[in-house]
Amino acid sequence: MAPTSVPGRPKLILASASPRRLALLQQAGIEPDTLVPAEIDETPWPRESPRKLALRLAREKASEAARRIRDDADWAGSVILAADTVVCVGRRILPKAETIEEAAACIRLLSGRSHRVYTGLCRVDQAGRVSAKLVETRVRFKRLSKDEIDAYLGAGEWRGKAGGYAIQGIAGAFVVSLVGSYTNVVGLPLAEAVGLVGATGYPVTLGWIAKG
């Protein structure tokens, strides 16, 4: 797909297929020119910490997106933004739940305790320079009853979600405290993401007027 460009600004590529990340950027008045989802192996390395995993995967996604557009003149000089979110309890990395058994194990583990959400951000600028940042949020769930867990699992919102939940859904009612960025838990810490994009010269405020 050829970009629809605004004269004088770089094109922006979001290296993600996540509707949540796209919606968050749009919330901030930023409309990517295209999406280039990066298919990579997200398996943690042996003894890899959650922090390092989030940053590594964000870098790999950005690198894969850059590789895919390398020979396409329409996208030369684009800004690429990639992100990866990891949910963990201590050093235990929780999966993106694909089965009800995985989701049940995650929610039972999170019930009544604190956990951390890390998002690695990676930006590739017009000259191919790479910049990365890690954002951390601490979240605590209330203690959940068996009936609450069973009903939540039956709702199916856990599918494909890191840690088996999406804070913007039913699980938002489980959160008793949150320290840090709320949008980080959704999947894209907006302050940091917009800052990384804006540092390239991309006019992040251009869409704000249209929202008014």
Q: Residues, the chain, total?
A: 212
pLDDT confidence bin for 209, thresholds 50/70/90? confident
> pTM value?
0.93
Catalytic residue among 33, 41, 84, 150: 84
In tens, the pLDDT along 177-202 reads 999 999 999 999 999 999 999 999 99
Rounded to the nearest angstrom, the gap between the alpha carbon of residue 189 and the centroid of all alpha carbons in its chain is 8
Active site residue 125: no
CATH (one of 2.30.30.110, 3.90.950.10, 3.40.50.10470, 3.40.30.10) for 12-211: 3.90.950.10
Q: What is the pLDDT of residue 7?
A: 59
- Residues in CB range of 31: below 8 A, 6 or more apart: 25, 207
At 3, the pLDDT band (50, 70, 90 cuts) reads very low
pLDDT of residue 4: 44
The residue ranking higher by pLDDT, 2 or 12, is 12
List pLDDT tens digits, range 134-166.
999 999 999 999 999 999 999 999 999 999 999
Listed by start position, the domains of the chain span 12-211
115-137 confidence digits (pLDDT tens)? 999 999 999 999 999 999 999 99
Averaged pLDDT score across all residues of the chain: 94
Alpha carbon distance 157, 208 (integer Å): 32
For residue 179, the cross-strand partners are 138
Within 13 Å, how many C-alpha atoms sit on residue 158's CB side? Answer: 24
* Interacting residues of 175 by C-beta distance below 8 A, sequence separation 6+: 139, 140, 141, 142, 167
